[in-house]
Structure 1
Amino acid sequence: MLELASVSKHFGGLQVLQDVSFSVKQGSIFGLIGPNGAGKTTIVNLITGLINPSAGEIRFNGQNLHAVAAHNITQLGIARTFQNIRIFKEMSLLENVVVGMHRHLGYSPLSMLFKLNSFKHAEASAKQRALELLSWVRLDHKAQMLADNLSYGEQRKLELARALATEPKLLLLDEPVAGMNPAEKIELMEEIKNIRDRGFSIFMIEHDMRFVMELCDQIAVLNFGKIIAQGSPQEVRHNPQVIEAYLGKEEEV
């Protein structure tokens, strides 16, 4: 579904990524991990078109994303959440999720202005779908609450529901459990598994090793802009380069 082929990125004289290659299979949960500053968020920004690679190709369902404008990436079926939460805090949870559906509503500005039947039917359908998505993250009982009144963990889950509202084929999660307590992490893990089981493919970047190891089907490890390991959680867990990147090299006595 998603393939990075020999992707590099530099900003002036600073080489952030070098010859990065990996692929994400449809219907899987793929994790990209690495220490802080390894280049993980740069990869997400490349995939979503916020920046362009200096070399290499990024392909989504066979299409090269290099020529696709950032605002058209969502139309191809890619949605993302952000490490820093970006929700509309003065809107209700329901309204936040409906906002994510704008390209699917299918009514004209004229029908909206005069509140014609096509507008009313589309709005009713959107609200029903929004409630369904909120139920996936266990927030449907707070649908009419202002988003600003949610806890930090609940705001992260609301952002996830809004991303799902775009009906993506691939969901990109940028450090989804950052700032969450252990109980919230366990709950979100189950919800992400359920989302995958509903037919979505998921690509996440995360620094919480335990969360990724328990959740992902395949993992790639990024360190200083290079992929140092790829494989199953079990393979990655015991890779000497990964252990060194996270724990440091043991000094010889």
Structure 2
Amino acid sequence: MLQLTKVSKNFGGLQVLQDVSFTVPHGSIFGLIGPNGAGKTTVFNLVTGLLRASGGGIEFNGQNLANVPAHRITELGIARTFQNIRVFKEMTLLENVVVGMHDHLNYSVVSSVLNLPSYRRMEAKARERALELLSWLRLDHKSHMLADSLSYGEQRKLEFARALATEPKLLLLDEPVAGMNSTEKSELMAEIVNIKQRGFSIFLIEHDMRFVMELCDRIAVLNFGRIIAEGSPDQIKNNPEVIEAYLGKEEAA
């Protein structure tokens, strides 16, 4: 589904990524891990068009993403959440999700201003879909509440629902359980599995090793801008290079 081939990224004289290659298979939960500063968020920014690669190639469903603008990448079927929650706190949950459908609402400015039947039908359809997505995350009973009233974990779920509103084929999750307690992490893990079972593919970066090991089908490890390992969770957690990257050579020994 998503393939990176020898991707590099330089910021002036600083090389952040070098020859990064891996494939995110369709229908999987794929994790990218690594110590702080390894380059994980840079990978996400390259995939979503916020940055341009200095070298190598990125393809999504066979289409080269080089020079494709961020909004077009969203239209192609890639959605993303961010480490820092970005919901509209003064809007209701329902309104937050409908906002995510903006590119899929096919009506004119005139029909909106005049409140024509075509506009009302499209809005009703969008609200129905938004409620469905909120129900997937078990938030539909709070659909008319302000997002600011939600707990931290619920705001993260709302962000998932809004990302899913763009009708993605691939969902990118940037440290989805950052700042959560163990109960919230368990609940969110179940929600991510549920999303996968509904036919979505998921690519995530995360620091919580237990969460990644329990959730992901396959994992790649980034260290100092290079992929040092890729495989199943069991293969990764027993890999000497991975252990050294996280613990240091002396402690790993």
Residue-by-residue CA offset, 1:127-169 (whole Å, 9 max, x unaligned)? 1111111111111111111111111111111111000000001
In structure 2, how many angstroms separate the alpha carbons of the residues matched to 1:179 and 1:210?
Answer: 15
One-letter amino acid of the counterpart of residue 80, structure 1: R
Identity of aligned residues (%): 75
Contact persistence 2:243–2:252 (CA under 8 A): no
CA RMSD of the aligned region, Å?
A: 1.2
Deviation at 1:67, TM superposition (A): 2.0
Residue aligned with 2:203, SS: strand
Residue aligned with 2:49, SS: coil
Alignment match, 1:112: 112
Alignment match, 1:39: 39
Residue-by-residue CA offset, 1:15-68 (whole Å, 9 max, x unaligned)? 111110000111111000011111000000000000101110000011110121
Q: TM-score, length-normalised on structure 2?
A: 0.98
Alignment match, 1:76: 76
Alignment match, 2:210: 210
In structure 2, how many angstroms separate the alpha carbons of the residues matched to 1:157 and 1:180?
Answer: 12
In structure 2, how many angstroms separate the alpha carbons of the residues matched to 1:196 and 1:227?
Answer: 25
Once structures 1 and 2 are overlaid, which stretch shifts more, 40-49 or 240-249?
240-249
In structure 2, how many angstroms separate the alpha carbons of the residues matched to 1:208 and 1:196?
Answer: 20
In structure 1, how many angstroms separate the alpha carbons of the residues matched to 2:199 and 2:247?
Answer: 36
Once structures 1 and 2 are overlaid, which stretch shifts more, 57-66 or 105-114?
105-114
1:170 is aligned to 2:166: no
List aligned pairs for 1:115-154, cutoff 5 A. 115-154=115-154
Residue aligned with 2:249, SS: coil
Alignment match, 2:7: 7
1:185 is aligned to 2:182: no
In structure 2, how many angstroms separate the alpha carbons of the residues matched to 1:208 and 1:71?
Answer: 30
Residue aligned with 2:185, SS: helix
Deviation at 1:250, TM superposition (A): 2.7
Give structure 1 stretches of 5+ with no counterpart. Answer: none
One-letter amino acid of the counterpart of residue 135, structure 1: S
Alignment match, 1:232: 232
**Aligned residues, how many?**
253
Q: TM-score, length-normalised on structure 1?
A: 0.98
Give structure 2 stretches of 5+ with no counterpart. Answer: none
Contact persistence 2:52–2:67 (CA under 8 A): no
Deviation at 1:11, TM superposition (A): 0.3
